[in-house]
Amino acid sequence: MGTKGLLVRLEVKAGYDDARGEDVLRSALAMDRAEAATTAWFAISVRRSEYGIFDVFPDDVSREAHLAGPVTQALLDAGGSVFAGAPLIQELEVLADKLPATSSGEPVTKALLLTFTAKAGHESQVAQFLCDAQALVEHESKTVAWFAIRLDDSHFGIFDVFPHDGGRFAHLTGHVPRERAKHSLSLLGSVPDIGMLDVLDAKWADQSAGAR
C-alpha cells in the first residue's frame, strides 16, 4: 500500500476555539481527496488544543508532491491565524501495513500512536518484529487500519485506528502487545510511549471514512 509517510503535529493558539483547528483539518481532507497518490490520511486529536495528521504514500515522489501541494499550504496559511506556529512535519518509513480494500461502512473514531526506541544494535530485529506483527493484526476485525513505522534509525512505532473504544481495547489486550512484551527486554531500549487519540476524519484507497 504505502512505503512513505508523514506525522504532522499542530497546536491551536491559546484562547482559540478548538473547533477552528478541527475545521482546518477537515477542509484539508476535502482537498486531499483530489490527491490519488495519498494512500491514507487521518486527522487526529492528540489532546486538548493539539492535533495531528498521519498520512502515507506509495513513494518519495508522491510524498514530496503532497508536501508541495495545497493541503500543506493550507496548514501553513493557518499557522498564523489558528495554530500557534508552523506544523511540525516528521517524515517516516512504513515497514508494513493493513488497510481494508473498501470502506467498512463503520467510521473510525479512535486511534493509537505507539513509539519506542530500539536497543542499540537491535534495530533490524525490531523492524522485522514489526513486519511480522502484520500477520497478527490481519485477524483483528476491529483494527481497521494498522501501520508499522520507522521514524529514524533507532525510533519505531505503530499507528492504528478503530471504530470505537472496544476495538482499541481488544487490540491493546491482543497478540501484538503480548509478543512485544515478550521481546521488550531484548529488543527495546525504552518503555513504549502510547498515545490514545481520537480520529476526526479519514480516507484510504479512494474510500472515505468520516469519523464524525
User: Tell me, what's the pLDDT at 105?
Assistant: 63
Could you report the per-residue pLDDT of 37-82, keeping only the tens digit for each? 888 999 999 888 899 999 999 999 999 999 998 888 888 887 677 8
Q: Are 26 and 202 in contact (CB under 8 A)?
A: no
Phi and psi of 10, rounded to 5°? -140, 145
Closest by Cα among 77, 65, 62, 190 to 126: 190
Helix 70-78 vs helix 60-67: crossing angle, to nearest 10 = 40
**Whole-structure pTM value:** 0.91
Q: Are 145 and 187 in contact (CB under 8 A)?
A: no
Is residue 208 scored above 50 in pLDDT? no
CA–chain centroid gap for 40, Å, is 9
Instruction: Say which CATH class 4-208 falls into.
Output: alpha beta
Q: Where are the domains of the chain?
A: 4-208
